Amino acid sequence: MDKLLKQAYIKSNATRLLKQAYIKSSAVRLLKQAETQAPITIDKLKKIKELSDDKRYGAKANELRKLILSRPSEFYIDSEEGNILGLTHRPTNFKFHLPREIYPK
């Protein structure tokens, strides 16, 4: 009997932990979805530009790449000079430069 109670206790704890993990992963998924559906604001673009001004080019490239992947139709290439692309965000007309190899294909 003691063994059965112990097994039932372990099973109920495992079930509870699985439910918590599922709820947490669902919440994370919903937050990510909301983040990609939120409009890209001029403030967000300025913060990315500040990364470049602070010479944090890798961080700038990562953030800009994420935005482009989440809303590809909102960005277009307006110039090319060597390995550097000039990009414009259509809704805000905000302009960036980005190395060609960073631009999502």
> Is residue 61 located within the same domain as residue 96?
yes
Residue 82, phi then psi, degrees to nearest 5: 65, -120
pLDDT confidence of residue 40: 80
pLDDT confidence of residue 71: 86
CA angle 87, 93, 95 (to 5 degrees): 35
> Is residue 95 located within the same domain as residue 55?
yes
What residues contact 100, with CB distance under 8 A and at least 6 apart? Answer: 80, 83, 84, 85
> Is residue 34 located within the same domain as residue 44?
no
pLDDT confidence of residue 90: 92
Domain span holding position 28: 1-38
pLDDT confidence of residue 37: 63
Q: For residue range 55-72, what is the model confidence (pLDDT) as tens digits? A: 999 999 999 998 888 888
pLDDT < 50 positions in the chain: none
pLDDT confidence of residue 34: 54
> Is residue 50 located within the same domain as residue 29?
no
**Helix/strand number for the chain, H first, E second:** 3, 3
What is the pTM for the complete model shown? 0.60
pLDDT confidence of residue 85: 93
> Is residue 68 located within the same domain as residue 84?
yes
Burial of 79 from C-beta contacts in 10 A (0-12 / 13-18 / 19+): exposed
